Structure 1
């Protein structure tokens, strides 16, 4: 399958997704497999979790669109899945869900010689991130935080 047809197919499937309030996060066609595999990762536009039913709901119209497009003239396997859970905490929902979990905080080193802090996620406000490090709460200004990820605690 040439690149132009891949782009056309992806555009068609993005339209199918948007009608159903989904967004395509990743679109890959693996032509080195027999039959070829079309892998699509979707998420909901309202940021809700994707269920197995959601993937199934998108599968039928996506298959129909592929068949009707006549862009593929070979057999294929269509795989619809979700993004899964990321280790990086970004949304307010993430911070509420993972309160008390071990996190690794990567710091901007302009104000500190420390690059990483490990502790238990305590709280995130609009101004700071608080983590529990061995029983002591450390407040870190958000402008010093580069990244917050789930991890395992290091002794």
Structure 2
């Protein structure tokens, strides 16, 4: 499968996705398989969660458009999925959902020799992140935080 065919296929799938309030987050075409496998990862344009129904509602029109386009002259398997859950916390919803969960906090090292902190997520405001480290609440200014991700708590 050449690059031009892949580009045309991607454009076709993006059109189908956009008509349904979706975006193509990832596209992998495994040409070394027989039949070839087309893996499409979708997200909603409004960033709401993807359900199994969303994947199913995208699958049939995507398959129909691929067939009509005659881009592929071989058999293929179409797999539709969501991007899943990331371990990195970014949205306000993440911080509310995972309050009390163990987190790793990666810090910039301009103001501190500490690169990572581990604790339980306590609170996030516009100015700071608070984590519970062995029963003590530590407030970290947000400008010192590089990344916050879920973890397993270690003693």
Using structure 2 for the length normalisation, give the TM-score: 0.99
Displaced runs of 4+ in structure 1, greater than 6 A? none
SS at match of 2:71: coil
Match of 1:91 in 2: 91
Deviation per residue, 1:103-137 (Å, 9 max, x gap) = 00000001000000000001111111000001111
- Gap runs ≥5 in structure 2: none
Match of 1:48 in 2: 48
Displacement, 1:63? 0.2
Deviation per residue, 1:72-114 (Å, 9 max, x gap) = 0000000000011000001111111101000000000010000
Match of 1:32 in 2: 32
**1:70 partnered with 2:70:** yes
SS at match of 1:26: strand
Displacement, 1:48? 1.1
- Gap runs ≥5 in structure 1: none
Distance 1:92 1:4 in 2: 40
Match of 1:153 in 2: 153
Distance 2:154 2:77 in 1: 43
Q: What is the total number of aligned residue pairs between the two structures? A: 155
Displacement, 1:154? 1.2
Match of 1:2 in 2: 2
Match of 2:102 in 1: 102
Q: What is the root-mean-square deviation of aligned Cα atoms in Å?
A: 0.5
Distance 1:70 1:137 in 2: 61
Using structure 1 for the length normalisation, give the TM-score: 0.99
Displacement, 1:45? 1.0
Deviation per residue, 1:5-40 (Å, 9 max, x gap) = 001100110011011001110011100000000000
SS at match of 1:46: coil
